[in-house]
């Protein structure tokens, strides 16, 4: 297996993440996949053949769980489809997560266009 990818998507981007996973399920199947709760459920529905470990929902601690896994070296790539047009009550968690990905120098995509490029390199 190629490592671990973390998948997260804000509410307005969950359909986009599910479609991205459907289109790239062959590439994603080579990775261990972790995801925040609702995003993971949507990806599993779109791609029943993928093995997705679902953590807590982002606002209920899932973002922090993934952040801890980044800090311990368990995550090799973060695909986080952010909705820049919607206010987020857990914005502090989002900033902490992206900061950890930057500190630990893991590839991070915050939109589908970048995720397409990252997955093509795998």
SS3 87: coil
The Cα–Cα gap between 67 and 85 comes to 23
Binding site as annotated, residues: 10, 14, 36-39, 57-58, 90
From 11, 45, 63, 120, active-site residue: 63
Q: Outline where DSSP puts E strands in the chain.
A: 4-9, 32-35, 52-54, 77-81, 108-109
CB distance 30 to 50 below 8 Å: no
The Cα–Cα gap between 23 and 62 comes to 25
**Is there a catalytic annotation at residue 120?**
no
Binding site as annotated, residues for substrate: 10, 14, 36-39, 57-58, 90
Catalytic residues: 63
């Amino acid at each position: 297996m190629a490592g671990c990818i973390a998948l997260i998507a804000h509410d307005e981007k969950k359909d986009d993440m599910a479609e991205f996973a459907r289109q790239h399920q062959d590439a994603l199947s080579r990775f261990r996949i972790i995801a925040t709760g609702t995003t993971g459920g949507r990806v599993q529905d779109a791609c029943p053949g993928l093995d997705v470990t679902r953590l807590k929902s982002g606002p209920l601690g899932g973002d922090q769980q993934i952040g801890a896994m980044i800090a311990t070296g368990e995550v090799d790539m973060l695909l986080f489809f952010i909705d820049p047009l919607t206010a987020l009550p857990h914005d502090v968690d989002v900033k902490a997560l992206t900061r950890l990905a930057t500190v630990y120098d893991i590839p991070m995509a915050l939109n589908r266009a970048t995720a397409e490029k990252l997955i093509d390199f795998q």
